Amino acid sequence: MAHTYVVTAHKPTAVNACCTGNFTGLDDLNLIVARNTRMEVYLVAPEGLRPLKEVDIRGRIAVMQLFRPPNEKKDLLFILTARYSAMILEWEQHGSDMEIITRAHGNVQDRIGRPSETGIIGIIDPECRVIGLRLYDGLFKVIPLERDNRELKAFNIRLEELNVIDVKFLYGCPVPTIILVHQDQNGRHAKTYEISLKDKEFLKGPWKQDNVEAEGSIIITAAVTMMVMTAAVTNEVVTDQRLTMAVVTAAVTMMTNGQRAQNESGKQVNVLAHTGVGGEVEVESGSVARGNAASYLSDRKKVTLGTQPTVLRTFRSLSTVNVFACSDRPTVIYSSNHKLVFSNVNLKEVSYMCPLNSDGYPDSLALANDSTLTIGTIDEIQKLHIRTVRLGESPRRIAYQECAQAFAVIANRIDVPDGNVLVPSHPSASTQTTIAECLTYLDNGVVYVGSRLGDSQLVRLNVEANARRSYVDVMETFTNLGPILDMCVVDLERQGQGQVRSMSMSVGVSQERVIRNGIGIHEHASIDLPGIKGVWPLRGASQSAVDTMLVLSFVGQTRVLMLSGEEVEETELPGFESCQQTFYCGNVCDNQIIQITAASVRLVSCETKALVSEWRHPATKNISVATCNSCQVMCAVGSELYYLEIYPNELKQISMTTMEHEVACLDATPLGSEGERAQRCAVGLWTDISARVLKLPGFDPLHVEMLGGEIIPRSILMTTFEGINYLLVALGDGSVFYFNLAADTGLGKLQQVAEKDLKGAPYSLVEFNGKLLASINSTVRLYEWTAERELKLECSDFNNIIALYLKTKGDFILVGDMMRSITLLAYKPMEGSLEEISRDFNPNWMTAIEILDDDTFLGAENSSNLFTCQKDSAATTDEERQHLQEVGLYHLGEMVNCFRHGSLVMQHPGENSTPTQGCVLFGTVNGAIGLVTQFPPEMFNFLLEMQTKLAKVIKSVGKIDHEFWRAFSTEKKTEAPTGFIDGDLIESYLDLSRDKMEEVTTGLQVSEGGGCVAMTTPRDSLG
């Protein structure tokens, strides 16, 4: 028996359907987006798309259509899942209480049938008399739409045409009439049929047209009074007395985006050609131009955060950098999907802050305002954070080498000759291509482009070409992780917290965050201390990770607080100047502490706490502004700017310069790619109100940005969010400017050391006991790396159709075959051979495999199911031993492309509340990331019971039974789920109302360890 727990950490992001209409109200224009098993309802508002509700559907959404039957005040939504559950949904809103109710539902699956190669097609009669479905070859399914019918029942009509490309209903017909494009040996033809609801059969339609455009794949029907389509997009226009029909060629014309048609009244109507197979809508991106050498600072933007002078400070939360803007309206600035997000904090006013990590107050913030010092912790800002590295190529595989901290990526690149020069086939940084899965027109020339393979976009179609000679402007981009082709888990910061690096088609890495309304700070301690001008944490030794002291600066004095446990008491450091206001204080390199006061820069030894070096202005003028990182100090005296470097027991002045005006603020934070030593500094000046970027050590000006206005910059900060460098400048009136800062990047080089010719495609390469294991076509081969620096074949295994995947543990090798499930091999070092130990004989078409433990193996197959197999070590007969037992079956609803051992959460050494065994992450085609782990039997049984209860309490939209949804289902068989816990269902317990929670927990057998542990576990595992 397997005891496996599966949960989604990052929901799918690929868009597979979208539609617009008046779903939430007669006057509301809504966009509804389907992301595999999730449906999102947006309101189209002047400022953009406003998310209203997100609904999980127990099924993969295959068809989603809005329609309005006569007598209805607003649109209803029809959804069909990939496993043929049909539902009609209605939006109901009472004040802020938004609910989606199921008007009707039913399953329209046939017991047998050949699912069409061209996929599921679902269409609704414009007069709302019937819903038409093309699910199986040779059959057309009709669901009559009758009012007040709560059960959706369908009947089949035989369809003579075998290879149907597309079907649509025609407008303005007295009986429901379909038009279809089908293919036979002679080409593609358009044909119409009337549906007789009484006899449940087709009658001859009004017309037909043989031999339409050979590539015609999409039918667009329109009422003739509404639109006349011009020939630009249409390769074929067939005009009937009552209607106009156009057959649009997808793949070829796709490159000519944004086709326009003129309607009779002369009003602009935009029609965007849609893609059938890999069509592309090429649009130019208005997004961030990174690495643009022409301008050092780019994309200047301004936000107003408060009304008082703002101070910017960085802190880390879950290993991401965030900026805290201290003002009368404190705000946390972070980045999500390459956009800066400004999130308010639930505190009235913060004038200064610093991060603090002491024994008593781990991962906290010290926040000071006029009268008090508060120590608190911050809510999780992001659940997972995503950083994207554009490769300009299609990545296929990724690996990480810890010692070099380097990633290796295998990518496909097709270079096309352009004259004599070879250029990458990928568009340049300023052009962005989204391959559309679905398109829907919103309003005012705005179109939503939903994509399965790239980011989804909101684009505007223009009548006139823009400067880039494009008719399309991108207004907004929605990140999509999918399809995740490969991923690796790395611990970059060595905190025991894994980061996932996943590969998706055009995107490098991924993540998501849950933005709640604002960010909460939980107060843990508060001290009344008026007049604080600054706070800094101090560590006892530079290497220590824990802060032990807090330095507070006041006008004319500096005080040091000692933190011992949760106790705070005042202390003194001998080397510290306590009769001066401190501008900066912190641990620096070589186990030293720096204190910068108005009078001098003081270097103090951590061990002796005594002053070891001091720097004063040559003319002993007072320092006005200062900044410092772990090895560099910058201080400004009026308009003079000094650059010092920190050495053991020594402060060395490296350079100085005189600025045009007095320095108002300074920053020398090293950016991501620069290591510990900053190569640039940022300066804000009085008088001309400018922000400048200077190169160190010579203070060579790199960029001058005039901010304009009369408010002087009060705080300046360079930081990196999601791989993008930003410069933030806060002004005295509470507003913040932010810019993109160009980065200098360098790349390592790989050198080839050996080469081996293979007969076939190597699908998988794995390091195995110091040797190289490869799956090449149908064979698994082990190569030895010889002293002569060449690969020598040691042994092979031949018994597969196509060996796609390999995983190893000790001497065991798990092989995933294209169509024959998984096989366990053992390497016999003595004999130098591979021996088949055991095999799963079920006909699973594999997409990913993993070894959970010595006896349990996990597989993902191409109908979006997971299964676990167990090796029967105690088997008495050969026959039992040679057959892997299928012990777990589960429908994930996502096609998994890769499994990797690892976890997204920090492993706290002392924490034993999560009794999980092993943790495997998975990445899917739709961009979802999830986790598979194993539980001890008691816990598993407890959760299983809870799952059964939850399934009864939680009613899904569309009334799809939980057991049906999670049943292992392929074209050949359907089996009840077993051996798996649906973590998504378990965790939905946390969102239940109190009385519902009670309903679930009553009668639940709490085993040893208590329900409390069980409750916290899922959340912990999610991270």
Q: Which residues bind other proteins (CB under 8 A)?
A: 111-114, 117, 136-139, 158, 162, 185, 759-760, 777-779, 796-802, 819-820, 835-836, 839, 841, 843, 878-879, 882-883, 971-972
> Do residues 860 and 866 lie in contact, with contact meaning Cβ atoms separated by under 8 Å?
yes
Q: Which helix (H) or strand (E) holds 796?
A: strand 791-797
Nearer CB in complex with other proteins: 197/255 = 197
What's the min distance (Å) between Cβ of 882 and other proteins?
Answer: 4
DSSP reduced 3-state for 918: strand
- Distance set, CA 597 to CA 555, 577, 666, 938 (Å): 11, 8, 15, 61
Nearer CB in complex with other proteins: 136/721 = 136
For 605, half-sphere exposure in the C-beta direction (CA atoms, 13 angstrom radius) is 9
Query: Per this entry, what is the length of the chain?
Result: 1023
What's the min distance (Å) between Cβ of 155 and other proteins?
Answer: 13
Nearest to 78 by CA among 122, 22, 42, 37: 122
DSSP reduced 3-state for 223: strand
133: exposed, middle or buried (Cβ count in 10 Å: 0-12, 13-18, 19+)? buried
Helices 1010-1022 + 937-953 axis angle, to 10 = 80
- Nearest 5°: the CA angle 998, 1001, 1002 is 80
Nearer CB in complex with other proteins: 207/841 = 841
- Distance set, CA 625 to CA 576, 622, 685 (Å): 19, 9, 11
Nearest to 302 by CA among 664, 687, 727, 692: 727
Q: HEC states along 933-945?
A: EECCHHHHHHHHH
CA dist., res. 1017 & res. 996, Å (int): 20
CA dist., res. 25 & res. 12, Å (int): 28
Nearer CB in complex with other proteins: 581/970 = 970
Nearer CB in complex with other proteins: 108/367 = 108
> Do residues 673 and 697 lie in contact, with contact meaning Cβ atoms separated by under 8 Å?
no
User: Residue 1009, by phi and psi: left (phi above 0), alpha (psi -120 to 50) or beta?
Assistant: left
- Distance set, CA 891 to CA 157, 176, 826 (Å): 31, 37, 30
Nearer CB in complex with other proteins: 621/828 = 828
Nearer CB in complex with other proteins: 675/843 = 843
Nearer CB in complex with other proteins: 230/882 = 882
Nearer CB in complex with other proteins: 752/873 = 873
Nearer CB in complex with other proteins: 238/819 = 819
What's the min distance (Å) between Cβ of 278 and other proteins?
Answer: 19
What's the min distance (Å) between Cβ of 972 and other proteins?
Answer: 7
What's the min distance (Å) between Cβ of 112 and other proteins?
Answer: 5
What's the min distance (Å) between Cβ of 168 and other proteins?
Answer: 23
Q: Residue holding tokens 């790396």?
A: 785
Helices 994-1001 + 937-953 axis angle, to 10 = 130
How, if at all, do strands 896-901 and 234-239 pair?
unpaired
What's the min distance (Å) between Cβ of 831 and other proteins?
Answer: 13
How, if at all, do strands 980-982 and 4-10 pair?
parallel
210: exposed, middle or buried (Cβ count in 10 Å: 0-12, 13-18, 19+)? exposed
Nearer CB in complex with other proteins: 235/777 = 777
Nearer CB in complex with other proteins: 641/815 = 815
CA dist., res. 593 & res. 537, Å (int): 11
Q: Residue holding tokens 């017309």?
A: 207
End-to-end CA distance of the chain: 27
Nearest to 440 by CA among 110, 66, 692: 66
DSSP 8-state class, residue 991: G
What's the min distance (Å) between Cβ of 139 and other proteins?
Answer: 7
Nearer CB in complex with other proteins: 167/728 = 167
CA dist., res. 532 & res. 370, Å (int): 6
What's the min distance (Å) between Cβ of 860 and other proteins?
Answer: 18
| φ and ψ at residue 621, rounded to 5 degrees | -75, 160
Nearer CB in complex with other proteins: 135/373 = 135
Radius of gyration in angstroms for the set of CA atoms belonging to the chain, rounded to a whole number: 32
What's the min distance (Å) between Cβ of 845 and other proteins?
Answer: 10
DSSP string, 407-432: EEEEEE--EEEETTEEEESS--TTEE
Nearer CB in complex with other proteins: 440/800 = 800
What's the min distance (Å) between Cβ of 841 and other proteins?
Answer: 5
> Do residues 684 and 665 lie in contact, with contact meaning Cβ atoms separated by under 8 Å?
yes
What's the min distance (Å) between Cβ of 759 and other proteins?
Answer: 7
What's the min distance (Å) between Cβ of 837 and other proteins?
Answer: 8
What's the min distance (Å) between Cβ of 195 and other proteins?
Answer: 16
DSSP 8-state class, residue 751: -
What's the min distance (Å) between Cβ of 836 and other proteins?
Answer: 3
* Identity of the residue numbered 309: P
- Nearest 5°: the CA angle 782, 788, 792 is 20
Nearer CB in complex with other proteins: 185/241 = 185
Tokens of 750: 């790989």
Nearer CB in complex with other proteins: 530/843 = 843
> Do residues 998 and 898 lie in contact, with contact meaning Cβ atoms separated by under 8 Å?
no
What's the min distance (Å) between Cβ of 301 and other proteins?
Answer: 53
What's the min distance (Å) between Cβ of 138 and other proteins?
Answer: 5
What's the min distance (Å) between Cβ of 802 and other proteins?
Answer: 8
Nearer CB in complex with other proteins: 111/267 = 111
